[in-house]
Structures are given as C-alpha cells and as structure tokens.
Chain A
Amino acid sequence: MATRFWFYAGAALLLLLASAALFAPLLTPYDPLQQNLEQDLITHSRQHLLGTDKLGRDLLSRIIFGARISLLVGASTVGISLLIGVAVGSLSGYAGGIADLLFMRLIDILMAFPGILLAIAFSAILGPGLDHVILALALIGWTGYARLIRGEILSLRERDFVSAARALGCRPRRIIVLHLLPNLLPPLFIQATFGLAAAIVAEGSLSFLGLGVAPPTPSWGSMLNEGRQFLLVAPHLTAYPGIALMLTVLALNLIGDALQDRLESRTR
C-alpha cells in the first residue's frame, strides 16, 4: 500500500542519515575542520567527491558531520520540548482551574510570536553556541506539545477508566503517567517527528543568520550561509548542504505523514 511504501522510504532515508551522523568519524575521508588554502573552491575531484569550500575543507566530510549537528540539535530540542510540554500540558489539563488558565495564557503569549523571532531574540541574548541554540529552540517548541497533551487529557479525564482509577485512590501523577499518557504516545510521536523537522530547519535558519552554531563547527545552516557569497562561482557549496537538509526534512515528513495516515485510519 502506498502509505507503507512512503513510510519505509522515509524511514530508510532517516536511518541512512542517522547512521551517517553516528559513524561520522569513520565515514569521512577527511577531517571536516582541516583546511587547505591552496585547494579552495574545487567543484569535485577524485580526492574530494563533493568538492571543497573556501578554506579548502572537504565538503562531503562537512556534510556528514553536519548531519550529526542537525540530528543532535533536533533530537535534543525535541527531547527537552517534550519534557516541558508534557509536564505543563498534563498538569494544566488534569488540574484545571487557575493553573490551567495561567498556563494557557502563557502558551497563548508565547505562540503570539512567530517562532523564529523568539529564537532570534533568545540567540541574540544568549550568544552563539550549540547549547544555546538547543535551549532557545526548546523554549519556543514546547507549546505545541503542551496544547496537544492538554487537549487529549481534557477529553480523556472524564472517561470511565480514569474515574475508576481515581475511585481506587490512585494519585493524580500515577493516573497521568500510567493511564493517560500511554494513549497519547501516538499523536505525540507524530508531532515530535514534525517537530524534529522543524527544529532542524530552525537551527539552519539561526545558523544562516549567524546566530546558531559557532564556526568552524559544520552545521548545514552555517554552510549555506558561508556558501551564499559564492553562489555564482561555487554553487556546490550551497546545493549539497541544502539537498542534505531537504532530504532529512523530507524523510521526517514522510514518516510523520505515514504515521498520521495510519493513526487516522485506525481511529475512524
């Protein structure tokens, strides 16, 4: 069936990228940071399959290491966002009342800013660096999960099995973790997949604007930024990292899509 094909296609692509990221030091023919000024801006050669950048660094090696950065930033961001989002969402949804109102207002306020703007502001304050990027992105990314969790918990809260658990004297936290959350894993996972894609693009945007990962760390976004000035003489500097970025996001979208299709057909 079409869905399953796309799912596997996406998964395969993602697996390829993830293993490239994981085994990067073994796969890369060169040290991504090693410069060679004499060999700058080569388009491709036998020694450099994808060419070199302005400082003579091998592009293929940098792209592979870039996968590492992207996936690292993406996964960490989503991880932290999930933690915050689930905590806030479940608290808000289950407790209701003032807490709920306050948290929802906070979320409304945070979502009143287009994400990138907040990310730029945070990055400008915190300064460049990998951990700062993750922090900035996580701080703006948790709202989606919180809303999702809250919505689901609100609807599940009055269900029989929950009342039963409450009648049995289970403490709220136990109820949330043991009974409610497991039902929420599928939609959460789907949202996280798309969230991962968004985080990777966001990191790219920040690095593109000079606010993300500090050089010479190879991030796809900063490679796109560096390559931009050479667009007319060395388009490969922009093309290859851009394609890598696009493929990663594509893979995640394919997976997320397929899962969503599956989920929807199940719940209908």
Chain B
Amino acid sequence: MKRYLLYRLALLVPTLFGVLTLVFLFIHVTPGDPVDIMLGETASAADRQELRQILGLNKPLAEQYRSFLIKLSRADLGRSLYERRSVAAMVSERYPATLELALCAMGAALFISFPLAIWSAVRHGSWTDRATLMFSLLGLSMPNFWLGPLVMIIFAIQLGWLPVSGRDGPDHLVLPALTLGLGMTALLIRMLRANLLRVMSEDYVQTARAKGLSERSVWLKHTLRNALLSLMTVVSLQFGSLLAGSLITETIFSWPGIGRLTMQAIAMRDYPLVQGCVLAISLSYVFVNFFTDLIYRWVDPRITYGN
C-alpha cells in the first residue's frame, strides 16, 4: 500500500504541472484587452501603456510564465484585474459555496438513487423497475441549461414553494442542487442497480442463501457492500462533472460560487481570475481522483491500477 501511495504521488506531480501549464497557456492566448475596459474611453495611450506595464501584460510570454510559477509556489495567484483584490482571496471566498452545492447535489443524488436502485433491483423486470429505468434515462438526457429554467419556473414561480436565486438559506439550495445532481442521480441509479443485479446472481450469494442466511443479512453482508465499491468510483468521477456543471447551474441560479465567478471572469478577460478559478476547479478534480484511487485501493487491494 505504501508503495502504491508513493507511486501515485509521483504521478501526481507531472499531472499537476501539466494542468498548471495548460491553464496558463490558454488564458494568455485569448484575444481581447482588459486595459481598454478598465480605463474607459478618454484615457490616453500613454496611460494605457502604463497600466499594461503595471499589470505585467507587456512582458514576453515566457517571462510571464516564469513569474506565474514562482508566485504559485508562494500561493500567490495574483490580483484580479478588475477588483484589484487577491485572486486567492476571491477564489477561497467563492469556493465553499460551490463545494456546498456540489456536495449537496451529490448527497441528494445518493439519497434518491439508493432506495430507487435497490427497489428497482429487488423488483427486477416489473413495471416499477422499468419506470425507474426510464426516469433515469430521461434524467441523463436532460441538459442542465434546460432543466434549470424549467424547475425555476415550475417550483419557484408557478408554485412559489422555493426561492428563485441566490444563497440565503437552506431552501435556496434545493433547486440548484437538484438541477446539478440530476445527471448524477440518473447515472447512480443505473450503475447501482446493475451492480446489485450482478452481485445478486453471483454464486457466493446463492450459496449464502442456500446455507440459510436470512435475506437481510445476505444483502447487508454481500450485495450492498460490493455494490458500494463501484459506487465510489462513479461518485468521484462524477464530482468533476459536478464542478463543470456548476458553471452553468450557478449562472442560471445566481449561485455565488466558483462556477459563476469563472464565467464572469472569462467574459471580462480577467486573466488572473480565470487562471485562479480554472486552477481551483482542476486541482480539486485531480485531488478527488487521487484520493478516490487511494481509498479504492485500500478498500480492495485486489484492484490494480491500469485498467
């Protein structure tokens, strides 16, 4: 196990490095000039040049890259071109909101998918099973930029049960979390159900049943346990797509998280801020994957890395 840990850590380094480089590269290659917006119409060319110099936009790409890396080692993500505040501060302000949304979405997904999947597996082949499958298929097929406005209209306006936008209390979480988590819910239902069905038909489970163990303990000891393993991988993989989905969902619901900040930063060509946001999202993703890999390995050492 320790060897595996070291191995994975070693692999982590180039991955991180590559992520950083890629992030740096595309921010700096985008067209559009933030200086124009900041100084407005009546500023002179000289003023513009000066500001560009202060912001460091004048230096050659290689040098900008170098200072980028050096600052990063000091956890200095630079300052937002617009708000003139530390990017690290802005990102850490918004990060908890996104984390909250993502975790809530994940929690809701687990909460809904578990019972549905179990119920479906137990009543394999019946109408309820088919209905659940269809529901999950629909859930997979609905893009969140459609679902968001739809649930907003139905639940927040027509029925008035829930608030429209913003982050002001637990009820504000419901609609965005549901929108963000629907895809994951659908996927989890299918995966869990498939795994449960598979395990249920395995030899050792039949054996346990034959031996006279109650249905309940068969379930607890074998079926669920095995199904949970694959669940973990799915959950961690999906976490990344939750972060990605947050870009759209947060915009639709005016949720003050990293996703919305990223979109705003891209629109404003606020290079340091976009960099910071993209870094935060990718690094989270990398680390979640890393830890899931470790936990997976720890829980079931039979599984080898590679496939």
**Chain A contacts to B: CB under 8 angstroms:** 2, 105-106, 108-110, 112-117, 120-122, 124-125, 127, 151, 154-155, 197, 201, 204-205, 208-209, 221, 224-225, 228, 231-232, 235, 238, 242, 245-247, 249-250, 253-254, 257
Known: A124-B30, A228-B149, A231-B153. A113 touches B19 (CB 8 A): yes
Known: A124-B266, A238-B146. A105 touches B285 (CB 8 A): no
Contact A197 B141 (CB under 8 A): yes
B165 at the interface (CB under 8 A from A): no
Option from B143, B149, B244 in Cβ contact (under 8 Å) with A231: B149
Query: Smallest Cβ distance from B283 to chain A, in angstroms?
Result: 8
Contact A117 B141 (CB under 8 A): no
Chain B residues within 8 Å of A238, by CB? 146, 149-150
A-B pairs under 8 A by CB, number? 116
Query: Smallest Cβ distance from A229 to chain B, in angstroms?
Result: 10
Contact A113 B278 (CB under 8 A): yes
Task: Provide a sorted-by-A list of 21 A–B residue pairs whose CB atoms are within 8 angstroms.
Answer: A105-B14, A108-B15, A109-B14, A112-B285, A113-B282, A114-B281, A114-B282, A117-B247, A117-B262, A117-B281, A121-B26, A121-B278, A127-B31, A209-B248, A224-B145, A224-B146, A242-B142, A246-B142, A249-B143, A253-B137, A257-B137
Chain B residues within 8 Å of A155, by CB? 307
Chain B residues within 8 Å of A247, by CB? 141
Query: Smallest Cβ distance from A83 to chain B, in angstroms?
Result: 22
Instruction: Give the nearest-CB partner of A239 in chain B.
Output: B150
Chain B residues within 8 Å of A122, by CB? 26
Chain A residues within 8 Å of B31, by CB? 125, 127
Q: How far is the CA of A110 from the CA of B25 in the complex (A)?
A: 13
Known: A125-B26, A151-B307, A231-B149. A120 touches B285 (CB 8 A): no
Query: Smallest Cβ distance from B124 to chain A, in angstroms?
Result: 11
Instruction: Give the nearest-CB partner of A152 in chain B.
Output: B307
Q: How far is the CA of A204 from the CA of B141 in the complex (A)?
A: 12
Query: Smallest Cβ distance from B222 to chain A, in angstroms?
Result: 19
Option from B137, B153, B285 in Cβ contact (under 8 Å) with A114: B285
Known: A105-B14, A125-B29. A116 touches B245 (CB 8 A): yes
Query: Smallest Cβ distance from A213 to chain B, in angstroms?
Result: 15
Q: Mark B263-299, 1 if CB is under 8 A from A, else 0.
A: 1001000000000001001100110010000000000
Chain B residues within 8 Å of A232, by CB? 153, 157
CB within 8 Å of A: which B133-153 residues: 137-138, 140-143, 145-146, 149-150, 153
Q: Is the interface of B mostly helix, strand, loop or mixed?
A: helix
Chain A residues within 8 Å of B146, by CB? 224, 238, 242, 245-246
**Interface residue tally on B, bucketed by range:** 35 or more
Contact A209 B263 (CB under 8 A): yes
Max chain B CB contacts within 10 Å: which of A106, A151, A209, A224? Answer: A209
Q: How far is the CA of A127 from the CA of B32 in the complex (A)?
A: 11
Contact B282 A112 (CB under 8 A): yes
Known: A232-B157, A249-B140. A116 touches B15 (CB 8 A): no
Known: A109-B18, A114-B243, A117-B281. A253 touches B143 (CB 8 A): no
Instruction: Give the nearest-CB partner of A257 in chain B.
Output: B137
**Chain B contacts to A: CB under 8 angstroms:** 11, 14-15, 18-19, 22, 26-27, 29-31, 125, 130, 137-138, 140-143, 145-146, 149-150, 153, 157, 240-241, 243-245, 247-248, 262-263, 266, 278, 281-282, 285-286, 289, 306-307
Query: Smallest Cβ distance from B195 to chain A, in angstroms?
Result: 12
Max chain A CB contacts within 10 Å: which of B14, B27, B141, B153? Answer: B141
Q: How far is the CA of A247 from the CA of B140 in the complex (A)?
A: 11
Instruction: Give the nearest-CB partner of A122 in chain B.
Output: B26
Contact A253 B22 (CB under 8 A): no
Chain A residues within 8 Å of B262, by CB? 117
Option from B18, B27, B153, B278 in Cβ contact (under 8 Å) with A106: B18
Query: Smallest Cβ distance from B280 to chain A, in angstroms?
Result: 11
Option from A125, A228, A246, A250 in Cβ contact (under 8 Å) with B30: A125
Q: How far is the CA of A113 from the CA of B278 in the complex (A)?
A: 8
Known: A109-B19, A112-B286, A254-B137. A235 touches B153 (CB 8 A): yes
Q: How far is the CA of A208 from the CA of B247 in the complex (A)?
A: 12
Q: How far is the CA of A247 from the CA of B142 in the complex (A)?
A: 9
Known: A117-B244, A117-B281, A204-B145. A253 touches B26 (CB 8 A): no
Chain B residues within 8 Å of A105, by CB? 11, 14-15, 18
Query: Smallest Cβ distance from A209 to chain B, in angstroms?
Result: 7
Contact B247 A116 (CB under 8 A): yes
Q: How far is the CA of A124 from the CA of B274 in the complex (A)?
A: 12
Chain B residues within 8 Å of A254, by CB? 137
Contact A109 B141 (CB under 8 A): no
Chain B residues within 8 Å of A106, by CB? 18
Chain A residues within 8 Å of B282, by CB? 112-114, 117
Query: Smallest Cβ distance from A95 to chain B, in angstroms?
Result: 16
Chain A residues within 8 Å of B278, by CB? 113, 117, 121
Known: A109-B22, A116-B245, A117-B281. A250 touches B153 (CB 8 A): no
Q: How far is the CA of A238 from the CA of B147 in the complex (A)?
A: 10
Chain B residues within 8 Å of A225, by CB? 145
